[in-house]
Amino acid sequence: MSTKSVLGEVREVQLAIQLIHLGARLQFLEAEVGLSRERLIRLYKEIKGVSPPKGLLPFSTDWYMTWLANIHSSMFYNMYQFMKTHSDEEKVWVLIKSYKLYLQQIEAQESEPILDFTRAYTMVRFFDSDMLQLSTCCRCAGQFVAHAHDHKSGYVCVLCRPPSRAGKARGSKRAAGGEISVPGMESIGLAVEAALDGGGLH
């Protein structure tokens, strides 16, 4: 085996390891990593200690429209779009780094991640297939995930007009001794710029 092919295989293994640690499903690994299904399954078992979960990937855009899911999805996709525009890396690495940055931002705000890696990957595919779009809120000017071809004029985001159940959820969380923390959209640009300048995403 040539040195080039050995190094190429090492890179594919490193990519698979990164993706498995982030929670990538086997279907995604097969699509993005140049290793056989058998090797991917062995690698998954070695890292996770269990076999890869079975079942279909999410196929509905409706999940991304619910209150907290829309906030987290919008936060991630703004990061992904910014990094894709300002980076010359392969798309899969932009996805990985964007998702890591999302997790860092959520952790910094002492919140819990709502968007798992599979949902993030599926959402990017939905955007690529023109099933989702970013719509600009007419009140705060933030860009939020919306169904493709929805009217953009007069769009109001879920932060500016949260559903009534959002208040109930916060109240029940406070009663239990906790709090629901909503990630701030205004910090996205600064966080992404720091990451692109070498802010610790590896």
Is 160 annotated in some ligand binding site?
Answer: yes
Beta-carbon count within 10 A of 143 CB = 19
Residue 134 CA to residue 96 CA, distance in Å, equals 20
Residue 10 CA to residue 114 CA, distance in Å, equals 32
Is 138 annotated in some ligand binding site?
Answer: no
Residue 144 CA to residue 71 CA, distance in Å, equals 7
Beta-carbon count within 10 A of 40 CB = 21
DSSP letter at 64 equals G
Q: Residue positions in the annotated binding site?
A: 137, 140, 157, 160
Q: Residue positions in the annotated binding site for Zn(2+)?
A: 137, 140, 157, 160
